[in-house]
């Protein structure tokens, strides 16, 4: 293992953690444990996760009210890009349960006193930047296909996107670009946030470890990405409220997947 340079003010030079090779069975076990954590702590998880449907409805209302419909789907899809950071409270609950420590929502505030809080904030900011880049790219793609004229109603927008050749081109191109952004976020975050929560390492070490974990497990990580995408899609039905179940399960499961990917 090579010694990695630290980010000034965040951590000292540390040895990168060892990563494991996992299988589909590990993904299944991580999901099983995620469901088990959710069933054991449903009140805490629900409270954290309810920000998603509320935020989703708020964003949807704002978009319809301000006639910027072309950004509705990119904003909804963008939840997946900031989810790894937003779910850090769920990782903490799973960590505490694993260690047999007391469980309550108030204990998630201890994250703010973590020695790695600077690195956690830095990576959270990076995901926000990636979200903004995704929205800018989605808007540019729409303008490139349809021009600068915006639809004047929901019906017009749906007809434009779902029944025209340009609309299908937008769907195909937009999903391709969205998958690329999601793959980047998965690669840099699948291990990063849980690792920072558990150990005092630099952001550079966390990201590098995450990239190595993905590189060592391309098949399982691709499958995990598909699982996350499918569950989030289900979670958007109906009206985003399914996320109040999906987000906690995925958050807890991600902690247990981290346990399988990185040697303690």
Report the pLDDT value the prediction gives residue 73, as an integer from 0 to 100: 83
85-94, 136-145, 154-163, 228-237 — most confident range: 136-145
pLDDT at 163 over 50: yes
Q: Which residues contact 85 (CB under 8 A, 6 or more apart)?
A: 120, 123, 124, 127, 128, 189, 193
Q: Measured between alpha carbons, how far apart are the two ends of the chain, in Å? A: 15
Cα 93 from Cα 91, distance rounded (Å): 5
Mean pLDDT of 158-174: 92
Cα 76 from Cα 170, distance rounded (Å): 16
pTM of the predicted structure, to 2 decimals: 0.84
Report the pLDDT value the prediction gives residue 156, as an integer from 0 to 100: 84
Q: Report which of residues 39 and 62 the model is more confident about.
A: 39
Task: Scan for tokens 């191109």, then name that residue.
Answer: 173
How many other C-beta atoms lie within 10 A of the C-beta of residue 152? 10
Q: Report which of residues 232 and 112 the model is more confident about.
A: 232
47-51, 95-99, 107-111, 112-116 — most confident range: 95-99
For 8, the 3-state DSSP assignment is: coil
- Band of the pLDDT at 242, cuts 50, 70, 90? confident
Residue-wise pLDDT for 31-61, tens only, equals 999 999 999 887 655 655 666 666 666 666 6
């Amino acid at each position: 293992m090579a010694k990695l340079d630290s980010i000034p003010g965040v951590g000292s030079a540390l040895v990168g953690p060892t990563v494991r090779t996992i299988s589909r069975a590990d993904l299944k076990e991580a999901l099983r444990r995620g469901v088990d954590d959710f069933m054991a702590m449903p009140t805490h998880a629900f409270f954290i996760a309810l920000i998603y449907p509320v935020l989703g409805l708020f964003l949807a209302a704002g978009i319809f009210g301000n006639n910027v419909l072309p950004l509705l789907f990119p904003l909804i899809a963008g939840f997946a890009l900031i989810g790894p950071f937003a779910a850090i409270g769920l990782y903490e609950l799973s960590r505490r349960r694993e260690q047999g420590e007391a469980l309550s929502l108030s204990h998630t505030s201890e994250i703010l006193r973590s020695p790695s809080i600077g690195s956690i904030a830095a990576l959270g900011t990076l995901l926000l930047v990636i979200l903004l880049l995704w929205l800018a790219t989605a808007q540019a793609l729409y303008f490139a296909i349809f021009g600068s004229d915006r639809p004047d109603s929901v019906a017009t927008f749906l007809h434009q996107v779902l029944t025209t050749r340009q609309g299908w081109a937008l769907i195909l191109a937009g999903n391709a670009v969205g998958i690329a952004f999601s793959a980047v976020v998965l690669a840099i975050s699948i291990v990063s946030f849980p690792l920072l929560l558990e150990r005092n390492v630099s952001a550079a070490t966390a990201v590098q470890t995450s990239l190595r974990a993905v590189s060592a497990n391309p098949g399982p990580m691709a499958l995990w990405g598909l699982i996350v995408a499918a569950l989030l899609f289900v979670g958007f039905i109906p009206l985003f409220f399914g996320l109040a179940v999906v987000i906690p399960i995925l958050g807890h499961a991600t902690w247990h997947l981290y346990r399988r990917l990185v040697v303690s």
